[in-house]
Amino acid sequence: HGHELYCAGHMLEAAVAYHAVTGDGRLLKVMEKNVELIRSVFGTEEGKLNSYPGHEEIELALMKAYRATGDRKYYELADYFVENRGSRPGFLEEERFLELSGKEKWLGADYHQAHAKIRDQKAAEGHAVRAMYFYTGAADVALEKGDPTLRQALEALWTNVTGRRMYLTGGVGSQGDGERFTLDYDLPNDTCYTETCAAIGLAMWALRMLKLNPDSSYADVMERALYNNVLSGISEDGEHYFYVNPLMLKPDVARYRRDHESVEPERVKWFGCACCPPNVIRTLCGLGGYVYTQREDAVYQHLYLGNSASLRTSKGEASLCCVSEMPWEGRAEITYQGPAGVSLFLRIPAYAENFCIRRNGEKAEFSVEKGYAHLTPAEGDCFQVSFDMPAQYVQANPRVTEDCGRAAVCRGPLVYCAEEADNGTLLNDFIADLSQQPRAEREDSFGGIVALTAEGSRSDYGEWPEDTLYRPAGSARKQASLRLIPYFLWNNRGVGEMLVWMNAR
């Protein structure tokens, strides 16, 4: 009902990772026994519990174990858990489990994504981390199963999440109660949940969708989540963490109000429910796993991270080395060593302007397939990728009430924010001037970043006594500017106001 199978799943993932890195299979052996126990308890056979996990996670872990060992029992259990979810009568709606959840509105069957079978689910519902892990595991199963109806169900859910229920930062989960999805276009900036784990889950799901269908729109979302909501989960010193990653903060309100009780005004050392800190760390340690996917002899590079990679193709061993200036500048150099006959697909990010590739210094010709430049490298080829990524204002669909009349600034994959440390308080009094493009500047702060300046205005009312709340409207404004830093770096200079979506006109 709760986190039993979730914990088993994480332990199984750890066992697979430990085996992959060290070659030591002892923990995997322990977890194989654990999976045997689970198989003896759950199933459709007489005397077994015909059910599914309360908190999904083990599905994707079982698929990792299947790929690591080739043993189909792992795949079969994952497939059973994915396909059985939402079957009726609903296991989680039995009286004994309803008592555990207190019959709370926010903790019903949809909280567990058990309100319908996956092919009948059209919108992401319930607990955001559960949902992301469920879709990730389901996509792993779909890839193995080759069942187009499962893939179509996931595509419909993807469209719902990324088209209606996702924050600009790649965060998901609009409400603290139930840590969950709410309604289409309901994306409050200060009371959101946007758990670090949920953004990690979105990136994991995107990676599986890329394996099902290498389309760069999945990589755009994966990069958005990784560079913004995921990185925001950890402090610059690497020792403090956010669980909730809001897009707007007034510290005294966050500390006081009931509807802000999950929002911490600053990163903390640890959490009683300790999922996010180790999750962000294992994600950063495993970041290499998000850079490429491979389909036979076609290699897709999704992220322009500095890296080196070796790969196996049907023509022989090959390697790729990428030296990159991302995310600060749109420049990367990718060198290929290996046999001819391999296809290299380089992502053209949605934000990239004047995208250009040079091959050993000469302008390269390429076809574009689903947002990737298709190249056929020869031994020793060096591809110089370059593109512009000017800072730009973005607006939200007007159905998002909280963002009406507002704009945020993005540059490349990064979302920017204003902080009290640079701009004082009353950030909401600033009105950005959309006719002036934000200015970008290289700076030494935070180990070297690109900071932005937004031009606009602030009120110029003269004296406004604190005990006077209202007075007739006046139009006095004075020219002002805001300094903006990448969102993932916020709250590294003490507690203060923060704002992503600025008033704008």
Q: Which residues are catalytic?
A: 179, 275
Minimum distance from CB of 273 to Zn ion (Å)? 7
Whether 414 contacts 232, CB under 8 Å: no
Q: How far is the CB of 275 from Zn ion (least distance, A)?
A: 3
Of the pair 161, 197, the CB lying nearest Zn ion is at 197
Q: Which of residues 169-208 bind Zn ion (CB under 5 A)?
A: 195, 197
Sign of the torsion formed by the C-alpha atoms of 443, 446, 450 and 456: negative
Interface residues for Zn ion in 305-344 (CB under 5 A)?
none
- Total residues interacting with Zn ion, rule: CB under 5 A: 4
DSSP letters along 153-190, please? HHHHHHHHHHHHSB-TTS-B--BTTTTB--STT---SS
The nearer residue to Zn ion, 61 or 276, going by C-beta atoms, is: 276
Q: Which of 138, 141, 276, 431 binds Zn ion (CB under 5 A)?
A: 276
280 vs 440, beta carbon nearer Zn ion:
280
Q: Binding string to Zn ion for residues 236 to 275, with x set by CB under 5 A, is what?
A: ---------------------------------------x
Q: Which is nearer to Zn ion, 197 or 230 (CB)?
A: 197
Q: Measuring CA to CA, how many Å separate 348 from each of 32, 375, 382, 415, 470?
A: 42, 13, 17, 19, 51
Strand order in the sheet with 372-375: 292-295, 298-301, 343-347, 372-375, 367-369
Contact 332, 304 (CB under 8 A): yes
Residue closest to 481 by CA, chosen among 459, 458, 450: 458
Q: CB 230 → Zn ion: shortest distance, Å?
A: 11
Q: Does residue 343 sit in helix, strand or coil? A: strand
Query: Cβ-closest residue to Zn ion?
Result: 197
Cβ 253 to Zn ion, closest distance in Å?
A: 23
d(CA 399, CA 179): 22
Q: Which one, 277 or 496, has the nearer CB to Zn ion?
A: 277
Contact flag: residue 128 with Zn ion (CB under 5 A): no
For strand 372-375 and strand 316-324, is the pairing parallel, antiparallel, or unpaired? unpaired
In the complex, the smallest distance separating the C-beta of residue 303 from Zn ion, rounded to whole angstroms, is 23
Residues that bind Zn ion (CB under 5 A): 195, 197, 275-276
